[in-house]
Amino acid sequence: MTNPPPTAQQIPSARVHHGDTVNDPYAWLAEKDNPETIAYLEAENAYTEEATGGLADLREQIFTEIKDRTQETDLSVPVLHKGWWHYSRTVEGQQYAIHCRCRASGDVPPQTEGGPLPGEEILLDGNALAEGHDFFSLGALDVSPDGRLLAYSTDFAGNERFTLRVKDLATGSDLDDEVPDTSYGSAWSLDGSTLYYLTVDDAWRPHKVWRHRIGTAASDDVVIFEEPDEKFWVGLGATRSERFVLIEASSKLTSEALAIDAADPDSAPRVIRPRKAGVEYSVEHQYTREIDRFLIVHNDADCGGGVNFAVSAAPVDRPADWQILIEHRDDTRVLDVDAFAEHLVVSLRRDGLSGLRVYQVAADGSLDSGADIEFAEPIYSVGSGDNAEYDTHSYRLGYTSLVTPSTVYDYDLNTAELVLRKQQPVLGGYDPERYEQHREWAIAEDGTRVPISILCLRDTPRDGSAPALIYGYGSYEASMDPSFVIPRLSLVDRGIVFAIAHIRGGGELGRRWYDDGKMLHKKNTFTDFVACARQLASSGWTSAERLVAQGGSAGGLLMGAVANLAPDAFAGIHAAVPFVDALNSILDPSLPLTVVEWEEWGDPLHDPEVYAYMKSYTPYENVEAKDYPAILVETSLNDTRVLYHEPAKWVARLRATATGDRQLLLKTEMGAGHGGRSGRYDAWRQRAFALAWIIDVVGAPAEPLK
């Protein structure tokens, strides 16, 4: 390096809460329109580019490895719906997917290799829409029940505000219908005359559901539901039966669902059951000749629910009359239920693994004892796939593991036969026998056993000499299940051990696992991760000098916290769009999504205990004068979930405070959002940048091992 790192100016800015005065000298970096802010971010980008210039060849090599392993011209497994096969395909050299359909002549999916299927109709070409734009994302892609119209929405900035349009699939032309500033999701009335959509408030919270008549101006649209409580987030969708449009208003602890009769677009939403503090529920619809009912996944103890949820049923005409259908179990977390004409499929978690259980539905609506869909690997992930048809015996599911590429099966609900439809191609002679996957357990500070999933080359030495990457998240009950990712091979093929720490705050071991890692128990998330890192070193998988930690978003908060808590446990830390200024953000209800987060982190604005607890761990406010690991921070200027200034402020304070000579790097995507670059080739290059840095920090070879 010939140039010194950028230095952000310090401007006094006082924060006073609960009698506590804090100076935030980098608060000015939140001024996005300030030319000095942009100048600072650009200076950091230039510094990072110079600091990593020696990795340019390695980055290009890794990008090529990802590209060469990927089947660039490919086709998804078609999904049957009302006489059409729906699918998407990619073309070599093109950044985005092409969404298509073709007429069905049977119920067996057509071939899933190569180019267009016979009789293909292109619904939407992402490449054509993205032309001339640096960023492109779809928020809705929804064909009307009669197959005539397509609702779709686009974002060209990365700020997750979409313009909704309607396409006539017979002519291929857009109608005059156009609605700006919508959120994700949409739903159709049964006759395709009416489209429902969502908009957000100033805090980017979806809070209004609108009804739009096709052929009318957006100014004539009607609000049919508005959620005034800022802790609640509104979702929208249709049941698989297409009989109902569902509106779901949910906080982190409480939910409420409303149903609209899809055959009567002008009907008002009807509450399934009024919200009750602490009760969460979700709704599906099932009907046969004999039954017409809602299925409710819930945790209401007064109705047979519990901490891990149960399934109840209620007649459509008495939706609040919940009768238990599948009982609560302490060892099984019920996640969701898919309803079909003669079966139910329940998504669940047990023993740290995801699972699917199939029930036969009798004429009177009762269930048999159910049967799990079994798989042979010791650690894996399985979940519901695209299942658009209601009256069917075929259930689409997705399966993967650390060594098994993403695999699509059709499961016969009558015979229990599992039919392979497609496995993700991995080019270049991928051999799963070269690799091993393991389950390790760490012991947390309070004695809790924390699972770790591990992927490595076969016969990797257990003497501490191997480099390693440990990944974690640990928030929102999100489970970081084992899965196959092509770019990861560029690490493992160089002898790097890859590990996932299944820490508290996630959902891997049920709802209690989540509850023990949130609010005033949040520090368990961080100490669990440190315990996992130290377990990898003590059991010989790696050593602290060759271990990099990685996490993004709320997992970026984790990265900042463990950097302060145990900097000696890591050689490096990669933090993507990190939520590292958590206390300042959660104190400000005017910021995007803050109030809805109070039931995840606590409310420091009104509760001094929460304030003190969050202040004790929030990364930005706990930077100290000590040696930190090498740190690479990636963020995006247009991110609406974790605002760019959080990582910018964190890096500025680290630069001014940390001792030692380890690299501190900030890289800002100036035209992207929370997910980073949008095109697949651009995303691969972004991934290659981080992977090259990791390989360099852990001292792995530049070339893959033979």
Catalytic residue list: 553, 639, 674
Integer Cα distance of 8 and 495 in angstroms: 38
What are φ and ψ of residue 296, in 5° steps? Answer: -125, 120
Q: Amino acid identity of 401?
A: S
Please report the DSSP string for 147-215 in residue order.
SSEEEEEEESSSSS-EEEEEEETTTTEEEEEEEEEE-S-EEE-TTSSEEEEEEE-TTS-EEEEEEEETT
Please state, in angstroms and rounded to a whole number, the distance separating the CA atoms of residues 151 and 178. Answer: 10
Coil, helix or strand at residue 43: helix
- DSSP-derived secondary structure letter, 671: T
Sort strands 292-298 and 255-261 into parallel, antiparallel or unpaired. Answer: unpaired
Give me the count of residues in the chain.
706
Do 554 and 576 touch, CB atoms closer than 8 A?
Answer: no
Phi-psi category of residue 116: left, alpha or beta, with phi > 0 → left and psi -120 to 50 → alpha: beta
β strands within 472-621, DSSP E:
497-501, 547-552, 572-576
Query: Computed from CA positions of residues 297, 512, 520, 615, in that sequence, does the dihedral angle turn out positive or negative?
Result: negative
Distances (CA, A) of 322 to 57, 295, 296, 299, 315: 62, 9, 8, 12, 8
- Beta pairing partners, 490: none
Tokens linked to 263: 């055959």
Nearest to 154 by CA among 183, 134, 174, 175: 183
On whether the CB atoms of residues 309 and 328 are closer than 8 A, the answer is yes
CA distances (Å), 387 to each of 35, 82, 239, 282, 550, in order? Answer: 50, 12, 11, 18, 34
Q: Are 181 and 148 in contact (CB under 8 A)?
A: no
Whether 320 and 314 have beta carbons less than 8 Å apart is answered as yes
Instruction: Judge contact between 275 and 256, C-beta under 8 A.
Output: yes
Which residues neighbour 555 within 8 Å (Cβ) at sequence distance 6 or greater?
A: 471, 472, 473, 474, 475, 576, 578
Phi, psi of 305, rounded to the nearest 5 degrees: -80, 180
**Order of all β-strands in the sheet with 664-669:** 435-443, 449-457, 497-501, 468-471, 547-552, 572-576, 630-636, 664-669
Give the number of other CB atoms < 10 A from CB of residue 72. Answer: 14
* Cα distance between residue 616 and residue 492, in whole Å: 36
Whether 413 contacts 430, CB under 8 Å: no
**Contact between residue 607 and residue 613 where contact means Cβ atoms under 8 Å apart:** no
Residues 497 and 386: their CA atoms lie apart, in Å, by 33
What phi, psi does 649 have (nearest 5°)?
Answer: -65, -40
